[in-house]
Structure 1
Amino acid sequence: MFCDRCGNQAAEGDHTACAAARELEPPRFCPECRRRMKVQVVPTGWTASCVEHGTRTA
């Protein structure tokens, strides 16, 4: 598994800053394959799409 904000291994390193930032912004990397996701932000939320694993929403 990968950090969906920085793209590094989720089990390695300190992701405290990533967790804090994720409360305010959408994910940038797919947590399953580490690919950069296509992100669209709208006033009601966001949509992030990975070509391999589909779409995530908030």
Structure 2
Amino acid sequence: MNLQGWQIVMIVVIALLLFGAPKLPGMARSLGQSMRIFKSEVRQMKDDDQNQDNNALPDEKSLI
């Protein structure tokens, strides 16, 4: 789905009409915080998975 310039302008105008200009910076800030939290949680889940994979491998001593 490729958005053209006039479509983006229409989306911005509609957003301004619906939410009003004063609320948009707060909404953008909230969205940014939510994205940071989401990214950190995903990163933490990946680290936890890697740690579990490393712990699941048998020790060399136990193979002897």
TM-score, normalization: structure 1?
0.25
Higher strand share: 1
CA radius of gyration, larger in: 2
TM-score, normalization: structure 2?
0.24
Q: Using CA pairs below 8 Å that are at least 6 residues apart, which structure has the higher relative contact order?
A: 1
Higher helix share: 2
